Structure 1
Amino acid sequence: MAAPEQPPPDGSKPLSALLNGIAQAAYYGNADITEELLHGQLYPEAAPEEFRALRAKMGGLLQSIASADMDLNQLEAFLTAQTKKPGGITAEQAAVIAKFWKNHRAKVHESLVSRSRWDNVLRSLSWRVDLKAQHRHLQQINTTPVAIVEMELGKNGQESELLCLEFDEAKLSQLLQKLSEAEQSMAALTQSTQ
């Protein structure tokens, strides 16, 4: 069972460890980090209802910060607003949250992005054009070039699949035309929404 990483040695130690524990459970997939474990290790003197309220408040703040993928300026404005609202957080708690987010933003963001994918992703793409360069009969040389496209597709944590497509000149022209039409449609949609 992995415990939350050790926080800095100051008065903010339990809160920093709580934030790390929440992140471990919510974003990093560590099922060993439970509310009971956090309560027992970090706030054993607190009543269960008091700890549950603190955990819910910090979890909600962390969820808001993570779902907006706040940069440091947005975070500062958000935390300042939280310190001024009734029942909000203290300035010390805001400082601990800011430090935590500065250190964990990229990892939390990466976790959220990977969990939001439910389909295969394109891992690599390569292509080439094959031509006959030599043949017994001169009239068969350089006829019908073939474009070969290889795509590596896969989901996180799974083995990739290789998809190989062959196109003759006519099929490649049709594909390029369809891609051009799709590009024009997307451009028209983005211009109409601006």
Structure 2
Amino acid sequence: MAAALERPPPEAAKPLLGLLVGIAQASFHGHAEVTEELLREQLYPDLAPQEFRALQAKMAGVVKSIASADMDSNQLEAFLTAQTKKPGGITGDQAAVIAKFWKNHRVKIRDSLINQSRWENTLKNINWRVDVKSQSRHMDQLNSPVAIVEMELGKNGQESEFLTLEFDEIKLNQMLKRLAEVEDSITSLTQAT
């Protein structure tokens, strides 16, 4: 089966590859303009709507199973082999096209699924520096070191927010202590499993 999964798809398989790309665009990349009607018109115009719907549903189920498990090549081969042996499953030629599709689109789909699963903003960038106060209302704060932390927060595809924090030596030590506590907690949780 490995040789069958690696052969390039024949000319007749191009519509199936297009369907798989369309399913990925609609399901994983948020392209709402990629509709069932558009895919049928562009790829399978001679297929009856109910037949196309069944083909699309079958291929969408296969692609979603592969993507949700983030299958490597060995897992993919085993999965596709099982799908070809299942009654009402896929053909060997379809399995070859699916394998080619997954090889070319796995990283993009995986990244898209990761981005969709984030609920909150993420830290995109962080810069820090230490300054010395040259002006202050209080004389005892002059020439004291101050840590300036600048963070860029946001989601992919959205405008970033910037957060600037200023820490004196005491606050910086408190923050470092808390970070060490968080690190210890994470370490103890990961070692327990």
The structure 1 segments of at least 4 consecutive aligned residues displaced by more than 4 Å after TM superposition are 139-142
1:170 corresponding residue in structure 2: 170
Unmatched tracts of structure 1, length 5 or more: 1-7
- Residues 148 and 165, structure 2, Cα contact 8 Å, conserved in 1: yes
Per-residue CA distance 1:80-124 (angstroms, 9 max, x = gap): 111122221111110000001111111212222222223211111
From the superposition, tell whether residues 168 and 100 of structure 1 become closer, same or farther in structure 2 (CA, over 3 Å). Answer: same
State TM-score, norm by structure 2: 0.85
**Larger relative helix fraction:** 2
State TM-score, norm by structure 1: 0.84
Give SS of 2:129's match: strand
Give SS of 2:126's match: strand
Unmatched tracts of structure 2, length 5 or more: 1-8
CA distance in 2, matches of 1:61, 1:148: 50
- Residues 133 and 146, structure 2, Cα contact 8 Å, conserved in 1: no
Q: Which stretch shifts more, 98-107 or 114-123?
A: 114-123
CA distance in 2, matches of 1:13, 1:158: 35
CA distance in 1, matches of 2:38, 2:148: 55
Q: Which has the higher contact order (CA 8 A, sep 6+)?
A: 2
CA distance in 2, matches of 1:43, 1:140: 74
1:3 corresponding residue in structure 2: none
CA RMSD of aligned residues (A): 2.4
- Give the letter for the 2:86 counterpart: K
- Give the letter for the 1:181 counterpart: E
CA distance in 2, matches of 1:164, 1:132: 16
| 1:56-135 equivalences in 2 (<5 Å) | 56-131=57-132
How far off is 1:49 after superposition? 2.1
- Give the letter for the 1:177 counterpart: K
1:152 corresponding residue in structure 2: 152
| 1:43-58 equivalences in 2 (<5 Å) | 43-58=44-59
CA distance in 1, matches of 2:172, 2:132: 15
- Give the letter for the 2:113 counterpart: L
2:4 corresponding residue in structure 1: none
CA distance in 2, matches of 1:10, 1:182: 56
